[in-house]
């Protein structure tokens, strides 16, 4: 069942290039340049979307907020379901609400969906289990096609959620007149290149295992990122604490000096997720503030980023260059492998971490 892997989590991390390619194949026309989404997915009259989920799925929404806003110019709100459902926020009748859930059975997300139903133009779910309650109760459900996910820590479901959300953001951009056929084709080709780039990232597994040997000694670890890399920092920290039980926090790089920098000393590893994009120099300057206080920096970037900013760091990981918009999907891989190998180094139960359930059907 584990197909030669030691753990389901390792197998599911390794499957990502294949399942993402499957999802892309499903939602992109055979010409490779057009979208193949159900006709009900038409954002022409939608003026806002609200995305609601829990845990890792909520970080997928958080990344997608950047896509909807930057690519489609569509205002996007995000919330965690346990807050949303009791806050009972006002929702516009011309807005859509999106619910993202691997299991489709998460109690808070389901309750949030039931609340939104009477308040928005359409409820849309992005789920892995097509027969689930959330899939059945939403007006429209889009499967992420990740296949069964057994590891309690979500990996391939997360990147497949991101993939489907990216395609939805592109559809919104087309429907809102923000993207012409050529622009769409360019984005789709960038997405179709991702599985190959992810294979490259997977090949860094041994280098990551070596770094993880040292991370396993830490008490606290910080993850930093800017833009859509900020939610990836949150996801990296969640994954690490879930399976290695090391205390980890993700922060937006720019928040560092508003508090968390007080934690930095030579014992605190700081993992900086920073592709060489438009925000790179800002993030690097935050990283230098960490190094000036003797923080142990692991810089995850591409070759150009590592060449420009790698000196003086504790360690670097060089990923292939990714299309800037969709880099978060690629950077999920090293975040997952860091958590996995750190847990292995600590000897914890990777597939069945303590206190956690795969599907949270009670609040
Ligand atoms: C983290 C993780 C959880 C889930 C969350 C939502 O690795 O797996 O944070 O993402 O419990 O679950 P679903 O997606 O089933 O609604």
The pLDDT tens digits for 22-33 are 999 999 999 999
What pLDDT score does 359 carry?
Answer: 86
Cβ(359) to ligand 1 under 6 A? yes
Residues in CB range of 255: below 8 A, 6 or more apart = none
Cβ(263) to ligand 1 under 6 A? no
CA of 191 to the centre of ligand 1 (A): 24
What pLDDT score does 1 carry?
Answer: 86
| Average pLDDT of the segment spanning 172-177 | 98
Pairing mode, if any, of strands 140-143 and 220-225?
unpaired
Contact status, residue 55 vs residue 195, Cβ threshold 8 Å: no
- The pLDDT confidence band at residue 362, using thresholds 50, 70 and 90, is confident
- Provide the ipTM: 0.99
Residue of minimum CA distance from atom 5 in ligand 1: 55
- pLDDT at 363 exceeding the cut of 90: no
- pLDDT at 357 exceeding the cut of 90: no
| Average pLDDT of the segment spanning 275-297 | 96
- The pLDDT confidence band at residue 192, using thresholds 50, 70 and 90, is very high
Residue 182 neighbours by CB distance under 10 Å: 8
Rounded Cα gap, residues 235 and 10, in angstroms: 17
Cβ(61) to ligand 1 under 6 A? no
Residues with a catalytic annotation lie at: 358
Give the sheet arrangement for strand 122-127, strand by strand: 76-80, 49-53, 96-101, 122-127, 140-143
* Beta-sheet strands, E only, within 157-240: 220-225
Look at residue 40 and give its three-state secondary structure.
coil
* pLDDT tens string 59-90: 999 999 999 999 999 999 999 999 999 999 99
Residue of minimum CA distance from atom 11 in ligand 1: 55
pTM of the model: 0.98
């Amino acid at each position: 069942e584990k197909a030669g892997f030691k753990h389901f989590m390792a197998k599911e991390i390794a499957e990502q290039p294949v399942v993402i390619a499957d999802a892309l194949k499903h939602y992109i026309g055979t010409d490779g340049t057009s979208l193949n989404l159900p006709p009900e997915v038409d954002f022409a009259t939608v003026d806002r979307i609200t995305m609601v989920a829990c845990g890792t799925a909520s970080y997928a929404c958080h990344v997608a907020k950047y896509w909807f806003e930057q690519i489609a110019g569509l205002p996007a709100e995000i919330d965690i379901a346990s807050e949303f459902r009791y806050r009972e926020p006002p929702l516009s009748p011309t807005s859509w609400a999106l619910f993202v859930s691997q299991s489709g059975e998460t109690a808070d997300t389901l309750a949030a969906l039931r609340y939104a139903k009477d308040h928005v133009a359409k409820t849309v779910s992005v789920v892995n289990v097509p027969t689930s309650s959330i899939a059945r109760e939403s007006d429209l459900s889009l499967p992420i096609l990740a296949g069964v996910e057994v590891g309690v820590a979500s990996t391939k479901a997360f990147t497949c959620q991101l993939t489907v959300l990216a395609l939805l953001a592109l559809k919104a951009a087309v429907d809102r007149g923000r993207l012409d056929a050529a622009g769409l084709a360019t984005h789709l080709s960038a997405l179709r290149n991702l599985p190959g780039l992810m294979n490259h990232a997977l090949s860094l597994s041994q280098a990551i295992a070596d770094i993880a040997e040292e991370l396993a000694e830490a008490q606290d670890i910080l993850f930093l990122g800017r833009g859509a890399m900020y939610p990836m920092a949150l996801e990296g920290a969640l994954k690490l604490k879930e399976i290695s039980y090391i205390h980890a926090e993700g922060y937006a790089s720019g928040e560092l000096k508003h508090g968390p920098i007080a934690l930095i000393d030579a014992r605190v590893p700081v993992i900086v997720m920073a592709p060489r994009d438009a925000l790179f120099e800002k993030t690097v300057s935050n990283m230098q503030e960490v190094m000036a206080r003797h923080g142990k920096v692991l810089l995850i970037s591409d070759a150009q980023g590592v060449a420009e900013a790698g000196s003086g760091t504790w360690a670097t990981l060089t990923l292939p260059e990714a299309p800037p918009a969709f880099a978060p999907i690629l950077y999920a891989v090293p975040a997952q492998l860091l958590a996995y190998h750190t847990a292995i180094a600590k000897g914890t139960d990777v597939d069945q971490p303590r206190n956690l359930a795969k599907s949270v059907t009670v609040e």
